[in-house]
Amino acid sequence: MSIFVGKETKLLVQGITGRDGSFHTMQMLKYGTNVVAGVTPGRGGQTVEGVPVFNGVGEAVEKTGANTSVIFVPAKFAVDAIYEAADAGIRLVVCISEGIPAIDMVKVVAYLRDKDCRLIGPNSPGVVSPGEAKVGILPGHIFKKGNVGVVSRSGTLTYEIVDQITKSGLGQSTCLGIGGDPIIGTKFIDCLELFAEDGATEAVVVVGEIGGRDEQDTAEYVKRNFKKPVFGFIAGKTAPADKRMGHAGAIISGTAGTAAEKIKAFEEHGIVVGETPTEVARILKKHLG
């Protein structure tokens, strides 16, 4: 069992003919993902890695039954790509694009509330359910099928945490990066609600970073509502105030945004925090055996 993506996923790649879109289409196909269509306006009728290319998402959905989209288009076109996917009936949109203005994402998130469409991202590395499907840019070889759910704000840290979990002998049920931007479509709590109902997930790792207070809200939710064990890692312990560190959302603009406050909130609400990715894996191994 998995959340978000799996054997039932019929994937459409928006921006499939671009450098990143074509490369990662090849990687997703190699992993075993059912990539059924690509979309690039003006390139309809072509193929990429054997995948048919259409001029629009509506046509692609009608012809192939695609239910999931991954977006590999420049930031200035990404908002329209999200709208087009939602309007065509796509149920899950994974937006890899980085640099979309926050004000535009406020409008997108509001628009999607009236649609049967979930957005992961933007600035997301994607979603993997090991052995079933890979959507995005996550390196497939580090994953192993198992019972640990992983949800992260950081792409690179996602890779490191997962790699350490796999090397410890454990595996993952579903792993995703929700994106490091200030306004995103799916948050930690949304993922935990699904992990709670997933019979294949026995424990969850939450990887946070500086900026905002999503981690604190998540800790409160875990304390009140989440029955499975949760483990955590927070990046940015040495980050200076008022200086953006990588992600657009990774900026300390008050005491709530610091790594120290987030770690404190996790620990006070029963989330075991590791000092390093290796320690997180070691704690998990000790708990799950």
Q: Where are the domains of the chain?
A: 11-120, 139-288
Q: Which helix (H) or strand (E) holds 282?
A: helix 277-288
Longest dimension (CA), the chain: 57
Average pLDDT of 156-168?
Answer: 95
pLDDT tens digits for range 216-271: 999 999 999 999 999 999 986 755 554 444 444 444 445 567 888 999 999 999 99
% of the chain with per-residue pLDDT over 90: 86
Question: For residue 154, what pLDDT is reported?
Answer: 86
| pLDDT for the residue 218 | 97
Q: In the structure, what pLDDT confidence band is assigned to residue 155 with cuts at 50, 70 and 90?
A: confident
**Domain 11-120 shares a fold with domain 139-288:** yes
Q: pLDDT tens across 1-23, in order?
A: 689 999 999 999 999 999 999 99
Q: Which residues of 139-174 are buried (b: 16+ CB within 10 A; e: fewer)?
A: eeebbbebbbbbbbbbbebbbbbbbbbbebebbbbb
Please enumerate in sequence order all residues whose Cβ is within 8 A of that of 191, keeping only pairs 6 or more positions apart, or say none.
3, 149, 151, 176, 178
| Active-site amino acid positions | 247
Report pLDDT digits (tens) over 33-48.
999 999 999 999 999 9
Q: Reduce the DSSP state of residue 192 to 3 states and report it.
A: helix
Average pLDDT along the chain: 93
CATH of 139-288 given 3.40.50.300, 1.20.58.760, 3.50.50.60, 3.40.50.261? 3.40.50.261
Q: For residues 142 and 166, is the Cβ–Cβ distance under 8 A? A: yes
Q: What is the pTM of this model?
A: 0.93
Q: How far is CA 46 from CA 16, 17, 28, 69, 84, in A?
A: 10, 9, 19, 18, 20
Q: Which fold, 11-120?
A: Rossmann fold (3.40.50)
